[in-house]
Amino acid sequence: MNENEVVCSKCKNPIGYIYSVGSEDLLRIGGVLIREVHGICVHCGTEFHYSLAERKLQRLLELVTRQKLC
Q: Which residue has the higher pLDDT, 39 or 23?
A: 39
Domain ranges of the chain: 5-69
Write the CB contacts of 30 (distance below 8 Å, at least 6 apart in sequence): 16
Q: What is the pLDDT of residue 2?
A: 57
Q: What is the pLDDT of residue 42?
A: 96
Write the CB contacts of 6 (distance below 8 Å, at least 6 apart in sequence): 14, 15, 16, 17, 18, 27, 50
Q: What is the pLDDT of residue 17?
A: 95
- 8 Å CB contact between 34 and 2: no
Residue 1 reports pLDDT greater than 60:
no
Residue 5 reports pLDDT greater than 80:
yes
